[in-house]
Amino acid sequence: MEYFLQQLINGLTLGSIYGLIAIGYTMVYGIIGMINFAHGDIFMIGSFIALAVFLILTTVLGFTFLPVVLLIVLIIGMLFTSAWGWTVERLAYRPLRGSFRLAPLITAIGMSIVLQNFVQVTQGARVKPLPPQIQGGVTLMEGSTEAGRIVVQLSYMQMIIIVTTIVLMTLFTLLITRTSLGRAQRACEQDRKMASLLGVNVDRTISLTFVMGAALASVAGLMFLLLYGVIDFYIGFLAGVKAFTAAVLGGIGSLPGAMLGGLLIGMIEVMWSAYFSVEYKDVAAFSILAIVLIFLPSGLLGKPEVEKV
């Protein structure tokens, strides 16, 4: 029981990260109907920027008060990662707007390759370890098993991740539902041509969607860095695929769906590793995806599509 609870907390933490990345996928898919394959790599870029800023602040400038450092890292990371998100859209997707469906998918895959190899070339192929920065936690429950004492612990790190995710999600939902930007976004989702006829700046709305997605991915990147303490240029692929899986699982185009899907994928992965085998955790996540899609093709919270004849 204690073991299960501990895994539940771990799953929630990992799921938060997936959920934050998944939002980027789901928004972009909702608005322009393409799989932004490079989004996972934007997440990776975000974690590298976070690492660089963190190191500059701590080792070069000598800041030591961690909360302030992390806040600065978060903000700078969001800004600079957003610039990457904007640039990718501007260079690789906007020229192909209104073109054929597969063209932006291929440029997205191309961009993904470019970003990975750009980081590999400029930062080296070796992993970047960062010693754990936030230690300790709150013990929620104690119990004993045959193997010995077992503790259910909610570490401060996990707390930060979960709270930040909740705060960002709330802000974000407000942004989408309450502001004119959100309205413009939903209008573009429905009918881009009509939206532009009604005076919505479609290009800017799409750009902002990419910027927002990248900003959230950068937060996920920072969390990933702090949680696992090790990053390399290749982390974006698997995290990206899983986050996309999460977005599809939750019903692509739906923001709460993306978060829910992220949590589920995180949970499945952690539980599978805990109870079955670590090696096959990715297989578990992908199999669940396939099963859900076959039996529930529009995901958990997506709107069911009626076939138009």
Partner 1 sequence: MAAAVQTPADAGETKSWDLDPVLTVEHLTMRFGGLVAINDLSFNVGRGEITALIGPNGAGKTTVFNCVTGFYKPTEGRIAMRHGLGQQAQTVSEVTHSSLKWKPSPEGAVFLLERMPDFEISHHAKVARTFQNIRLFGGMTVLENLLVAQHNPLMRASGFTLGGILGLPGFRKAEQASIDKAVYWLEQVRLIERADDPAADLPYGDQRRLEIARAMCTEPHLLCLDEPAAGLNPRESHELNELLQFIRREHGTSVLLIEHDMGVVMEISDHIVVLDYGVKISDGDPAAVKTDPSVIAAYLGVEDEDLAEKPEVASIVVEALGEEAAEEAGIEIPPARKNGGDK
Partner 2 sequence: MAAVNNAAVNTAAVDPNSLQASLKDALLAALLAGALGLFFLGIRTDIAPGGLAVRTRWGLLLTAMAIVFAGRLLLNLFVFKTKRPVTRAISGSMAGTGSALPTLGWWMGRGLFGFALVLPFFFMTFFPGQQRQYIDLAILIMTYIMLGWGLNIVVGLAGLLDLGYVAFYAVGAYSFALLATNFEFIGFWTALPLAGLLAAFWGMILGFPVLRLRGDYLAIVTLAFGEIIRVVLLNWYDFTGGPNGISGIPKPTFFGLEFSRGEGGFADFFGIEFNSIHRFVYLYYIIFILAIITNIVTMRLRRLPIGRAWEALREDEIACRSLGINTTNTKLTAFAIGAMFGGFAGSFFATRQGFISPESFTFLESAIILAIVVLGGLGSQIGVVIASIVMIGGIELLRNIGFLSQIFGPGFDPTQYRMLIFGLAMVLIMVWKPRGLVSTREPSAVLKEKKKIGADMVAQGEGH
Residues in contact with partner 1, counted by CB under 8 A, come to a total of: 3
In the complex, what is the shortest distance from the CB of residue 306 to partner 1, in angstroms, rounded to a whole number? 7
How far is Cα 205 from Cα 142, in angstroms, rounded to an integer?
Answer: 50
Question: Does an H or E element contain 148, and which?
Answer: strand 148-155
Q: How far is the CB of 2 from partner 2 (least distance, A)?
A: 29
**Residue 100 binds partner 1, judged by CB under 8 A:** no
Closest separation in Å from C-beta 141 to partner 2 = 33
Spatial distance between the Cα atoms of 252 and 224, rounded to a whole number of angstroms: 23
| Token couple for 237 | 């692929």
122: exposed, middle or buried (Cβ count in 10 Å: 0-12, 13-18, 19+): exposed
Q: What is d(CA 175, CA 171) in angstroms, rounded to the nearest whole number?
A: 6
Q: Among residues 147 and 306, whose Cβ is nearest to partner 1?
A: 306
Choose from partner 1, partner 2, none: what does 282 bind? Cβ within 5-8 Å by kind: partner 2
Choose from partner 1, partner 2, none: what does 119 bind? Cβ within 5-8 Å by kind: partner 2
Per the CB < 8 A criterion, the answer to whether 152 and 140 are in contact is yes
Choosing among partner 1, partner 2, none, which partner's interface includes residue 144 (Cβ < 5 to 8 Å by kind)?
Answer: none
Residue 272's binding partner among partner 2, partner 1, none (Cβ under 5 to 8 angstroms by kind) is none
Q: What's phi and psi for 155, nearest 5 deg?
A: -75, 160
3-state secondary structure of 63: coil
Task: Give the C-alpha separation, 141 to 132, whole Å.
Answer: 23
Report what 117 binds from partner 2, partner 1, none; CB cut-off 5-8 Å by kind.
partner 2
Non-local (6+) Cβ contacts of 304 within 8 A are 298
> Between 75 and 140, whose beta carbon lies closer to partner 2?
75
Is 306 a binder of partner 1 (CB under 8 A)? Answer: yes
Residue pair 243/40 in contact by the 8 Å Cβ criterion: yes
CA 135 to chain centre: 24
Residue 2 touches which member of partner 1, partner 2, none, C-beta under 5-8 Å by kind: none
Task: Note whether 19 and 247 are within 8 A (CB).
Answer: no
Q: How far is the CB of 308 from partner 1 (least distance, A)?
A: 9
Q: Work out how close the CB of 180 gets to partner 2 at its nearest, in angstroms, rounded to a whole number.
A: 12
Interacting partner of 306 out of partner 1, partner 2, none (Cβ under 5 to 8 A depending on kind): partner 1
Q: How many CB atoms lie within 10 A of CB 212?
A: 22
Q: Which of residues 131-150 bind partner 1 (CB under 8 A)?
A: none
The minimum distance between CB 255 and partner 1, in angstroms, equals 24
Residues 180-199 that bind partner 1 (CB under 8 A): none
Between 60 and 294, CB nearer to partner 1: 294
Does the footprint of partner 1 cover residue 307 (CB under 8 A)? yes
Separation between Cα atoms, residue 159 and residue 176, nearest integer Å: 26
Of the candidate spans 79-87, 216-224, 286-294, 301-309, the one that interacts with partner 1 by CB under 8 A turns out to be: 301-309
The least distance separating partner 2 from the CB of residue 309, rounded to whole angstroms, comes to 6
Q: What's the CA gap between 135 and 83, in Å, rounded?
A: 32
User: Which CB, 60 or 309, lies closer to partner 1?
Assistant: 309
Q: Contact 18/265 with Cβ under 8 angstroms?
A: yes
Using the rule CB under 8 A, is 305 a contact of partner 1? Answer: no
Minimum distance of partner 2 from residue 235's CB (angstroms): 14
